[in-house]
Structure formats: structure tokens, C-alpha cells
Amino acid sequence: MKPAPFEYARPTTIDEAVALLDDDSVVIAGGQTLVPMLAMRMARPDRVVDINNIPELAGIADKGTEIVIGAATRQVDVLNSALVAEKLPLLRKAISFVGHTQTRNRGTVGGSLAHADPAAEIPLASLAMDAEVTLRGSGGERRISVDEFLVGPMMTAREPDELIVSLHYALAPAGGRVGTGFHEVSERHGDFAMVAAAARIELDSGGTCRTVALALAGVDARAMRIPALEAMLAGQKVDAALLSRAVAEIPGAIDPGDDQHATAAYRRRVAVALSERALADALRNAEGGAA
């Protein structure tokens, strides 16, 4: 199980990297997904473009209205960031479920998003947080929502000549109280989720839900939001009864598959249970309780 031969490039700027990208190239950042694919020869690129030596691709910056995370920022650095813990708690909670020490030390946030596994936590949390992605290609730069970026299983809106530059997480306007919740069921801690739920709720001063986001992973071709549920909760004072009615929208809104890990019916039940817990946690958290 050894990779087939390829040419290796180590650019030091984003533009140099973009100039090397085409249909027969792949980008390597942390390599936690790409190297196994190379080893199993599921990927046989002509060229591997290593973006680890491009300083502007790594780092976490507070821009006032948003937090910008460079695509090649290591998962461990996001997990240990005081800024992320304070301002993006949902992302932090999600990354605590991603892999193990050894893989988080190399794996990057941009790499997880680019891989777009339907059960992956980073795309899931990013979708729940209405995050955006900046891509740069030969034709210039564009910024799209994570919702537009995620197309299907391991499929994204990235063009072959584009590089993910950064992820953008908008900060909530002052005055609201934001709470988050994240729940997951997997075979072992650190594995991809069988089902995972990420919730984010913003309450106004009177305790009414200003905004509600609920996203699920492992239940469809890509991470997805549940708009019908969100619409039932937004503008309401949410209690346990309303929450139970709202999560009943989930089974009909998702299309999970059967596989060796679980049946579709089981995934539907788990999706409902985890969503209810994640939303309840988010509510309690927004009301000032522990997350």
C-alpha cells in the first residue's frame, strides 16, 4: 500500500499555489485524508501541492464583525484558541469530537471542509454557524456560504484550480444572548459521526428566540439544516413541548442511508434525540446556564 509516483510542489504564496492547481493536481495540507487515499491509490494525482509553507493560510484573526480562520490552520490550534473558546464555542465543541491528538496536530479546518465527508463535524458546525468560505482561483477570489460550498458526499463547489483560503464566522450583534449545543453518536470517540447535531440559538432580552439554527450530519448526502424546525422555533418562547413538536419535523426532512454501522430508521431516531438535546443545551446555554 504505497502511493503511486507524483510530482511535489511546495509553494510559499497563495498565488503560486493557485498557479499549480488543475484537474490533475491535489492540495495537501494536514494530509489526514489525502495520504490514505494516495496510499490506497484511490487518488493518483500527477501533482501534489503542499500548502503548509504558505504563512498567510494559517492563523485565527478577530476582525471585529467576524472571526477569520486560515484554511491551513491546524485543528489543534482552533481547539486550544482562547478566542475560539470565547467567540465560537460551537466550533470548539465540534472539534473536540474530531479525531485524536495525533490527527488534530496535523489536520486542518480547511482540509476537513474540502473533504466534505457527510458525517464530518467541522462542515456541520460551520453550516450551523452560517460560515462562509473564501476561495481563490486563476480567475480571482470569491466568497460563498458553506451551504453553497457543500454539494454532496465528498463533493464541493470548489473548482479544480481553486484553493480554500479562509473560513469566516460572523459574530452575533450585541444585545442578544447566544447559546450553543453539540451532540454526537459514533462507534468510538474520535470516529466520524453516525449522527451529529449542532444547534445555535440567539435569544432576545425577553427570552424569545431571535434566530435558531439546527444542522445535522450523517443523515444525508451532506450536512444539512432543518428549515421547517427552525421556522417553528424562531420568534417563539421555546419550552419543552414546543421543542418536542419541532423535532418531529426531522425524520421527514432527512434521507439517511443504511450501512454496516446503522440502519436508516435508527439514524432517524438518533437524529431526533440528538437534535432535541442540542437545542435544549443551546437554550439553557443562552439563558445563562452551562453549555
* Interacting residues toward other proteins by CB under 8 A: 1-8, 10, 28, 30-32, 35-36, 38-40, 48, 50, 52, 76, 99-103, 105-106, 188-190
Report the amino acid identity of residue 242.
L
What does DSSP say about strands 209-217 and 195-203: parallel, antiparallel, or unpaired? antiparallel
What is the H or E stretch that residue 136 is in?
A: strand 132-137
The least CB distance from residue 102 to other proteins, in Å, is: 5
Residue count of the chain, please give it: 291
Residue among 33 and 275 whose Cβ is closer to other proteins: 33
Contacts of 65 (CB under 8 A, 6+ apart): 170, 171
Cell of 17: 499555489
24: left (phi over 0), alpha (psi -120 to 50) or beta: alpha
Nearer to other proteins (CB atom), residue 103 or residue 236: 103
Residue closer to other proteins by CB (options 8, 153) is 8
Q: For residues 85 and 242, which CB has a smaller minimum distance to other proteins in the complex?
A: 85
- Rounded to 10 degrees, the C-alpha dihedral 159/162/166/170 comes to -40
Q: Which is nearer to other proteins, 39 or 240 (CB)?
A: 39
- State the nearest-atom distance from the C-beta of 54 to other proteins, in Å: 13
- Shortest CB 23 distance to other proteins, Å: 19
Closest CB 67 distance from other proteins, rounded Å: 24
Instruction: Report the residue number, 49 or 243, with the smaller CB distance to other proteins.
Output: 49
Beta partners for residue 62, in sequence order: 67
Of 107 and 181, nearer to other proteins (C-beta) is: 107
Q: How near is the Cβ of 58 to other proteins at its closest, in Å?
A: 14
CB of 197 vs other proteins, minimal distance in Å = 22
Q: What is the nearest approach in angstroms of other proteins to the Cβ of residue 249? A: 35
Q: Toward other proteins, which CB reaches closer, 29 or 216? A: 29
Q: Which amino acid, residue 276?
A: E
Asked whether the beta carbons of 167 and 143 are under 8 A apart, the reply is no
Helix %, strand %, coil % of the chain (to 5)? 35, 25, 40
CB 207 within 8 A of CB 287: yes
Q: Sheet holding 140-145: strands in order across?
A: 60-62, 66-70, 163-170, 132-137, 140-145
Give least dist CB 286 to other proteins, A: 28
Residues 6+ positions from 134 with CB-CB distance below 8 Å = 141, 142, 143, 164, 165, 166, 167, 168
